[in-house]
Amino acid sequence: MVILFLISAAITVFLLVAALVLMLTSNEVIDARLMEVAAAQVVRAPSIADPPKEGLAQAAAVVTSALGPLRSLVSGSDEDLAYRLTLAGFRKSEHIEIYTALKMLLPVAAIIAGTFFASNMLAVILVGSVAGFFGPDLVLTHLISRRQESIRLALPDALDLLVICMEAGLGIDQAMVRVGEEIRLTSPALAEEFQIINREQRAGKVRLDAWRSMAGRVDIDYVRQFVTMLMQTERFGTPIANALGQFADSLRLRRTQAAEEQAAKTGVKLLFPLVLFIFPSILVVALGPAILGIQKMLLNLVK
């Protein structure tokens, strides 16, 4: 009975907080709407309508629109969330709605599922709600790091292929398209970025701006240095093939140095498991029989 009372009290407090947020933000919404009406209307060209949302995206949009005032408290600003999702490879607007809806619904689902546990119900509810709220952030961070690591490892080989294609007579744009097709199986993320650059240039975007956009979408130091090198060669007219070859060699050298650094740290990292787990076992095996023999000898001397 006490646990059920605590659960009902927690749900009641949650509903009261949600109602309070709605009441506090309603005036801000009304004031913002009045300011929009009072402001001068700007004539805009008709834009292409967004494609209709279907399935999971439509359900997520319904949930986020119903709990609109809580959206900023749950997932922060849409711009920051869109940037993080872009780093993970999710670029559609529906992904923002799905992610926000998951962060809103998973704690509630954890609370409902925790009520089915007869023993340790309160602990299950607390752990499940915390895991449901922070779980999407952890998964998104893991996806971002995995995608960045894939691009970081595939970049030197992609640069070597770019050098080969340019030495064969292709331009930098055609070489990027060709390399994107070749590395699709080994690194789909980098191949996708090369394809996006090609599409942006076909749409009329300046080459330097397309490369800067790639550096912003990926957020990797190696890619920023690669884009900076391409911009310098574009401005000063230096041979791009030679610059790409030297940059690929420097990246490969850095990767080798990073591997050697990790190998050098292995001895220090193994010290603590050796001292805490392996060394006591060795002492027991090596000194145990000697200690027992000395004990028997002392007992015989006492007798």
| Residue 198 falls inside a structural domain | yes
Dihedral sign for Cα atoms in the order 83, 89, 92, 98: negative
Which helix or strand (DSSP H or E) is residue 283 part of?
Answer: helix 279-302
Q: Could you report the per-residue pLDDT of 22-43, keeping only the tens digit for each?
A: 444 444 444 444 444 443 333 3
Q: Which of 52-56, 96-100, 177-181 has the highest mean pLDDT?
A: 177-181
User: Is the model's pLDDT at 47 over the cut of 70?
Assistant: no
Q: Which residue has the higher pLDDT, 6 or 252?
A: 252
8 Å CB contact between 55 and 111: no
User: Counting beta carbons within 10 angstroms of the beta carbon of residue 97, is it exposed (0 to 12), middle (13 to 18) or buried (19 or more)?
Assistant: buried
**pLDDT at position 20, please?**
44
CA-CA distance, 75 to 208, in Å (whole number)? 33
The band of 74, judged by pLDDT with boundaries at 50, 70 and 90, is: low
Is-contact 124 114, C-beta < 8 A?
yes
Task: Say if residue 214's pLDDT is above 70.
Answer: yes
Could you tell me the residue range of the domain that residue 184 belongs to?
Answer: 149-256
The string of pLDDT tens digits covering residues 233-279 is 878 877 888 888 888 888 888 888 888 998 888 888 888 888 888 88
pLDDT score, position 67: 61
In a domain, 192, yes or no: yes
Q: How far apart are CA 282 and CA 249, in angstroms?
A: 46
pLDDT at residue 116 greater than cutoff 70:
yes
Which pLDDT score is estimated for 143? Answer: 92
- Tell me, yes or no, whether 240 lies in a domain: yes
- Domain total in the chain: 1
Residue 69's pLDDT band, with cuts at 50, 70 and 90, is low
Give the SS3 label for residue 205.
coil
Instruction: Summarize the confidence of residues 15-24 as an average pLDDT.
Output: 46
Instruction: From 87, 108, 85, select the one nearest 95 (Cα to Cα).
Output: 85
Tokens of 126: 């607390």
Q: Is the pLDDT of residue 49 over 50?
A: no
Query: Looking at residue 64, what is its pLDDT?
Result: 61
Residue 20 in any domain: the answer is no
Going through the chain in order, the beta strands assigned E by DSSP cover none
Tokens in use for 4?
């059920």
Q: Percentage of the chain surpassing pLDDT 90?
A: 2
Q: pLDDT of 156-197, one tens digit each?
A: 888 888 888 888 888 888 888 899 888 888 888 889 988 898
Q: Residue 283 above 50 pLDDT?
A: yes
Residue 57, pLDDT score: 61
The tokens describing 20, both together, are: 């309070």
Report whether 158 contacts 179 (CB < 8 A).
yes
Question: Is 127 among the domain residues?
Answer: no
Mention every residue, 6+ apart, whose C-beta is less than 8 A from residue 244. Answer: 159, 162, 163, 166, 229
79-to-84, 91, 124, 219 alpha-carbon distances in Å: 9, 12, 34, 16
**pLDDT confidence of 122, banded at 50, 70, 90?**
confident
Please report whether residue 252 resides in a domain: yes
User: Which pLDDT score is estimated for 42?
Assistant: 35
Does pLDDT of 136 surpass 70?
yes
Say whether pLDDT at 59 is over 70: no
Alpha-carbon distance of 239 to 229, in angstroms, equals 11
The band of 280, judged by pLDDT with boundaries at 50, 70 and 90, is confident
Q: Which whole-number Å values give the CA distances from 137 to 97, 179, 220, in the listed order? A: 14, 33, 20
- In the chain, the N- to C-terminal Cα span, in Å, equals 67
**DSSP class of residue 68?**
G
